[in-house]
Amino acid sequence: MSRFFVTTPIFYVNAKPHLGHAFTTILADSVSRFHALMGEETYFLTGTDEHGDKIVKASEAAGQSPKEYADQISALFRGLAPILGAKPNQFIRTTDPDHIKTVQKVLQKVYEAGDIYFGEYGGHYCFGCERFYTEKELVDGMCPDHKTKPEYIAEKNYFFRMSKYQGWLIEHINEHPEFIRPARYRNEVLSLLESGALEDLCISRPKSRLTWGIELPFDSDFVCYVWFDALLNYISALNYPRGERFKKFWPAANHIVAKDILKPHAVFWPTMLKAAGLQPYQSLNVHGYWLVRDTKMSKSLGNVVEPKRMVDTYGASAFRYFLLREMAFGSDASFTEEALVGRLNADLANDLGNLFNRALAMTHKYFEGKVPSPDKEFQEDAELKHLGLEAMQGFQANFGEFRTARALESLWELVRALNKYIDQTAPWTLFKNKQMARLGTVLYVVLEHMRKVAVHLWPVMPEASEKMLVQLGMPFEQEKIALPKEPEVWGVLESGVAVAQTSNLFPRVELPEPTPPAPKEATAPEAKKNKTDKPLPKEAPAPVCPAESIEFTDFQKLDLRVGTVLSAEKHPDADKLLVVQVSLGEEKPRQIVAGLADRFSPEELVGKQVVVVANLAPRKLRGFLSQGMVLVAKDAEVTRLLTAAGPVDDGGKVA
């Protein structure tokens, strides 16, 4: 059996979990689930890194011992996974006794092989990074990450002969293109290695300066450098060297890291493995930063996103989907709550949720809530099945390379196509015309594809996926799923199986409106002046300026459709409102409450084609439910209906 071992970096306990930690955990969990569905034996590892200068300083600031502080913060990281719906196989801590023994075992082995030596070194030490920098690595004399001036330290320490393996590492990276992904980071590492001689790595700290660390087995006056300690968790967790897990899962290791720790994982770690006589890992998968409104997260800016609050507000499924859909592999991504809500409403509520609601409701209306038997296949059915096959193959190919955003976009081509297929085949018309055999085929094609979509979404949002399958009458049974075969297999959903009446997994949500600032009170002299002076002249209307620029993806979130006004009548309690019924090619017309009564009579609107924002959140206006918005073009004098230049089928999409 093929095996897949995935790891997050072990998270440093100098701060509480934030959005970046949540994303890495969710990504690791999702790819682990994906490979399990692909028929592989998987192992998912996460944990915490607890030694070093920064932990000592953080614990002193908290008035605790380093161990007490580490215990407290580590517990927060351990508790993060279940909040996110993630299920790691193991949570490791670098203070675990077994890990400490493994680190000392590897240190002794490399020392005896002659690849660790004692020497004196003077260098620019950044306490934030806990590492020495060379002159050429500094930027204007500052640490490139922390923008602070490092302290020059000269001391005797132990060094790992990393330079010995420079040529081997360059050759290995060139021969294995998948070793570092995506390619931009592979090229960055190769550029670093080929730009000059690789320096040896200082791997100890004297106890006179730091005692919070793992003692070197060959010199009790020194502790191990935090990176040499931390990286070895990936094999200590597998019970290196003779554990069954180690025999099974090494070197099938796929590490996930953020780009700020690329060098330790791409240079330190493989050379350490080579020196210890071990094969290198399978792949290093590097993601970008999560920014907040295009700004790096910072406590001082107050823009740190708390994962728990997002899950409590929107649910784990929506949060997981957004993060995996929004970040292109290797690139930075920007988080805003508005973007999360927009994605949730557009993709989950309007596309997927609407698909489930429509299909389940029609199955109950036309077939007593049971999956119908398919009949003769038409060309439009075959075309949809071909599109579905390509969408699922695209999902699987991209997910296998950690490209979750591309994978989900590929799957959503099928979701959107299913909604369009329903509009084109018009099941309500087939029922009206008593074409029950054709109607049965149409609904079966939709329901079977919905099952396929739900199965593919299990790695992304397992809880919602399992509920979708239950709604389709097929409880989730992992051992019965063979994801590689799903694109081509057909007819798994059995006819006659009862389905749920409705699906409410993805309700539309709205952001709470910000509280407007209180109006500034006029001072006494100003108030008096306003009462006695002549009235101020009215300001001229502000010129109409272009709105703030948006991305194309923002425009895509709008579902603009052409429809025909079937009826219109004045709102009984509002002079400016009309209650309009618009046909959008759906089973029932949409009721829209529109502020058009001061410009149009009800009679003028009936029969007109209008453009409707179809995915606007429904809301009650003066007691009447409004399910969209009719668009108009207006200036100070004229209001005109926005419509198509010629007749368009009801439900035609504006694109």
Q: Helices H, strands E: what count in the chain?
A: 23, 27
Q: Edge-to-edge strands of the sheet including 215-216?
A: 204-206, 219-224, 215-216
- The answer to whether 591 touches 566, Cβ cutoff 8 Å, is no
Q: What values do phi and psi take at 213, rounded to 5?
A: 180, 180
Q: Which two tokens stand for residue 573?
A: 């309690």
* Residue 224 annotated in active site: no
pLDDT of residue 571: 85
* Residue 296 annotated in active site: yes
* Residue 386 annotated in active site: no
pLDDT digits (tens, 9 = 90+) for 512-552: 665 455 454 444 444 434 433 444 343 333 334 445 566 66
- Measured between alpha carbons, how far is 487 from 475 in angstroms, rounded to an integer? 20
Contacts of residue 7, defined as CB under 8 A and 6 or more positions apart, other chains included, come to 28, 44, 45, 46, 234, 253, 254, 255, 256
Q: Per DSSP, what are the bridge partners of residue 569?
A: 579
- Measured between alpha carbons, how far is 496 from 373 in angstroms, rounded to an integer? 8
**Angle between helix 316-326 and helix 404-425 axes, rounded to 10 deg:** 110
- Measured between alpha carbons, how far is 568 from 71 in angstroms, rounded to an integer? 66
Residues 336-485: name the CATH superfamily. Answer: Isoleucyl-tRNA Synthetase; Domain 1 (1.10.730.10)
> In CATH, which of 3.40.50.620, 3.40.50.300, 3.90.1150.10, 3.40.50.720 is domain 1-95+288-335?
3.40.50.620
Catalytic residue chosen out of the listed positions 54, 143, 202, 467: 143
The secondary element (H helix, E strand) that includes residue 46 is strand 41-49
- The answer to whether 321 touches 27, Cβ cutoff 8 Å, is no
Q: Per DSSP, what are the bridge partners of residue 570?
A: 578
182 upstream amide cis, omega within 30 of 0: yes
pLDDT of residue 553: 62
pLDDT of residue 595: 87
- Please report, in angstroms and rounded to a whole number, the separation of the first and last CA atoms in the chain: 47
pLDDT of residue 524: 43
- The answer to whether 630 touches 612, Cβ cutoff 8 Å, is yes
Please state the three-class secondary structure of 126-161 as a single string: ECCCCEEECHHHCECCECCCCCCCCEEEEEEEEEEC
- The answer to whether 581 touches 566, Cβ cutoff 8 Å, is yes
> In CATH, which of 2.40.50.140, 3.10.110.10, 3.40.50.1010, 1.10.760.10 is domain 558-653?
2.40.50.140
CA 306 to chain centre: 15
Catalytic residue chosen out of the listed positions 67, 87, 146, 147: 146
* Residue 129 annotated in active site: yes
- Composition of the chain by helix, strand, coil, percent to 5: 45, 20, 40
Pairing of strands 131-133, 116-126: antiparallel
589 upstream amide cis, omega within 30 of 0: no
Rounded to 5°, angle at Cα 107 from 181 and 113: 95
Q: Buried b / exposed e across 296-315, counting CB within 10 Å, b at 16+?
A: ebeeeeeeebebeebbeebb
Nearest to 485 by CA among 587, 389, 555: 389
* Residue 126 annotated in active site: yes
Contacts of residue 600, defined as CB under 8 A and 6 or more positions apart, other chains included, come to 578, 639, 641
What is the per-residue DSSP string for 358-413?
HHHHHHHHHHTTBPPPP-PPPHHHHHHHHHHHHHHHHHHHHHTTT-HHHHHHHHHH
CA dihedral (305, 309, 312, 317) in degrees, to 10, reads 10
Residue type, 634: K
Domain ranges in the chain? 1-95+288-335, 336-485, 558-653
- Measured between alpha carbons, how far is 399 from 391 in angstroms, rounded to an integer? 12
- The answer to whether 384 touches 445, Cβ cutoff 8 Å, is yes
- Measured between alpha carbons, how far is 262 from 185 in angstroms, rounded to an integer? 8
Q: What values do phi and psi take at 587, rounded to 5?
A: -65, -35
Q: What values do phi and psi take at 91, rounded to 5?
A: -120, 115
251 upstream amide cis, omega within 30 of 0: yes
Residue 442, Cβ density class (10 Å: 0-12 exposed, 13-18 middle, ≥19 buried) = buried
* Residue 202 annotated in active site: no
- Measured between alpha carbons, how far is 283 from 269 in angstroms, rounded to an integer? 12
Q: Which two tokens stand for residue 120?
A: 């004196």
Q: Which two tokens stand for residue 250?
A: 């090494």
**Angle between helix 19-37 and helix 66-83 axes, rounded to 10 deg:** 50
The secondary element (H helix, E strand) that includes residue 263 is helix 262-263
Catalytic residue chosen out of the listed positions 247, 299, 432, 634: 299
Nearest to 132 by CA among 153, 159, 110: 153
Q: Which two tokens stand for residue 469?
A: 């399958």
pLDDT of residue 265: 98
Mean pLDDT of successive 10-residue segments in the chain (655 residues)? 95 92 98 98 97 93 95 96 98 98 98 96 76 78 83 90 97 97 96 92 94 97 96 98 96 97 97 98 97 74 84 96 96 94 95 96 97 96 98 98 97 98 96 97 98 98 98 94 96 96 90 56 43 40 48 74 85 83 85 85 80 89 88 67 75 81
- The answer to whether 460 touches 410, Cβ cutoff 8 Å, is no
Catalytic residue chosen out of the listed positions 129, 202, 467, 571: 129
- Measured between alpha carbons, how far is 578 from 597 in angstroms, rounded to an integer? 6
Residue that the structure tokens 């948006």 belong to: 550
pLDDT of residue 251: 96
- The answer to whether 226 touches 51, Cβ cutoff 8 Å, is yes
